[in-house]
Amino acid sequence: MKEEKKAFLVLYTISLVMAISIFLYLTRIKGYTPEDMAKVALMTLIPVLTFHSLGSVIILKHYARRY
């Protein structure tokens, strides 16, 4: 159970860093403005939620075999 919690913590950390980096890339480099925040939010959240969901499924399947 301890390894499972650690795996989820690592997944949360990677997801957070991924969301921040995508957001900064879109706003700083691509030049999206506050008027485009709905588009930026979708372009940030969809990949991060997909990554997080797939990672959660993989972690749960991996640790379900142990119990």
Q: How far apart (Å, rounded) are the C-alpha atoms in residues 34 and 17?
A: 21
Q: How far apart (Å, rounded) are the C-alpha atoms in residues 59 and 1?
A: 12
Task: List, in order, residues 6 or more apart from 19 with CB less than 8 Å away.
Answer: 44, 45, 48
Q: How far apart (Å, rounded) are the C-alpha atoms in residues 67 and 27?
A: 45
Domain that holds residue 29: 2-64
Number of domains in the chain: 1
Q: How far apart (Å, rounded) are the C-alpha atoms in residues 3 and 64?
A: 12
pLDDT along the chain (67 residues), means of 10: 90 96 94 91 95 95 80
Residue 1's pLDDT is: 75
Residue 44's pLDDT is: 94
